[in-house]
Chain A
Amino acid sequence: MKLHEDTARIQDLLGEYCRTGEDTEIPGVTPGRVHHYRRLVYNVVRDTMDSAYPITLAALGEEHWDLLVQDFFSSGIPQTPQIWKLPFEFYRYHASQETGSRIRKPYLEDLLYFEWLEIEVHTMPDRPYPDFRKHGNIFNDRLAINPEYEIIRLEYPVHLHAVKEATDLKGDYFVLIFRSPETGYVQFLNLSVLNTYIFTRLVEDGVPLNELKGDIASVSGIESGKYLDDALEKFIGDLMKKKLILGFLKN
């Protein structure tokens, strides 16, 4: 049902006031009371952000954190009607505004994204599992990968260190985040660049590990032989234990 023009205008005014706190004349509002609406709405937003980004909150401290939330709330113009998605808009807003650079906290974008991704992986729609069997050969059979994962690349190791240390360790970091099929909990792995290469080649090429060994050896500079075989066997075996690799493809 379309709102009456006046009603829509008043709603917009109230919304604007709730976001910015700037005094405007809103028809029908009792003076001295309207600020409670802003307070209550802001509390919900702040609470949502606190829950979504507890590490960032701890790293920045209350004062800086509150400024970030207020900035987003008043200038970010949140669009989603689903409150659990609001933290993603928060991340996107500050990434687009390059807030991290402006406040001299270059790790900020990485940290917000790292925290958001836990929510995203946890709540992502189910992805279809491949048909798999439990027994097979790690090198000769095609591996069945748990599809509910994401790999991200970070510039700062905010997943390993306090932000102060992380700031001095700029580089390339890979984090694999996946949802355990048994518990539904999100698990984190810090991967080396070679592990990332191996895992993603397995996913993308869908071939047995043996067919990738030559490429792995040449890219890594590690001689193809027992050392590499043992390392690969351990890596894949660990991923199987964690259910990131479910087993072996049936076909």
Chain B
Amino acid sequence: MKTDKKILKSASLIAGALLTTSLAAAPSLGGSLLAYNDLGSGAQVRSHLIDVNANQAKAAEAIAYKFGELKCGEGKCGEDKKADGKKADGKKSATAKKGKTAEAKSAEAKCGEGKCGEGKCGEDKKADAKTADAKSETKSKEAKCGEGKCG
């Protein structure tokens, strides 16, 4: 199952070698060498990284829209409605997909975490209706595959 490329079998050797080289390169590192941080549970890590990556992607899209991509005749003269329509469609599908991926799946249900039979069928509609607070609450839970998805 493992690729063994990244999983460290004799990490102490690698880490030892790295320590020696990094200290040689930057002897003042002393204090921070002992620093480490708890990233939290899988759901917390996912939720955080999805948010930061999605925000960045949105920002990049906005910049591209503002500065770059439009050529003469695209989305300006007479094409407003079309462009608006596209935009609206885009938003709609983005929202729909966001609902499907970023919230319903990504933050909570992770493939392989599934325990079949834990599902609460028909609960996804309830989940959709929840408020932002409720969403953030559910995001932080360790819900598993099959929970709140069926139906």
Contact = CB atoms under 8 A, between A and B. Distances in A.
B57 interface: yes
Given A200-B8, A219-B20, A92 B3 contact: yes
Contacts of B86: none
Contact count band on A = 35 or more
Given A54-B102, A62-B97, A119 B113 contact: yes
Interface string A186-220: 11111111111101110010000000000000011
A113 interface: yes
Nearest to B50: A58
7 contacts: A61-B57, A62-B97, A84-B114, A88-B1, A162-B52, A187-B41, A192-B36
Nearest to B60: A164
A161 B101 CA distance: 20
Given A61-B57, A122-B113, A220-B23, A51 B145 contact: yes
Given A51-B105, A58-B102, A188 B112 contact: no
Interface in A75-100: 84-85, 87-88, 91-92, 95
A151 interface: yes
Contacts, number: 188
A229 B22 CA distance: 22
Contacts of A172: 18, 22
Interface of B: 1-3, 5-8, 10-12, 14-16, 18-20, 22-23, 27, 30, 32-43, 45-46, 49-50, 52-57, 60-61, 94, 97, 100-102, 105-107, 109-114, 142, 145
Nearest to A194: B33
B111 A87 contact: yes
A48 interface: yes
B113 A154 contact: no
Nearest to A223: B30
Contacts of A88: 1
Contacts of A161: 52
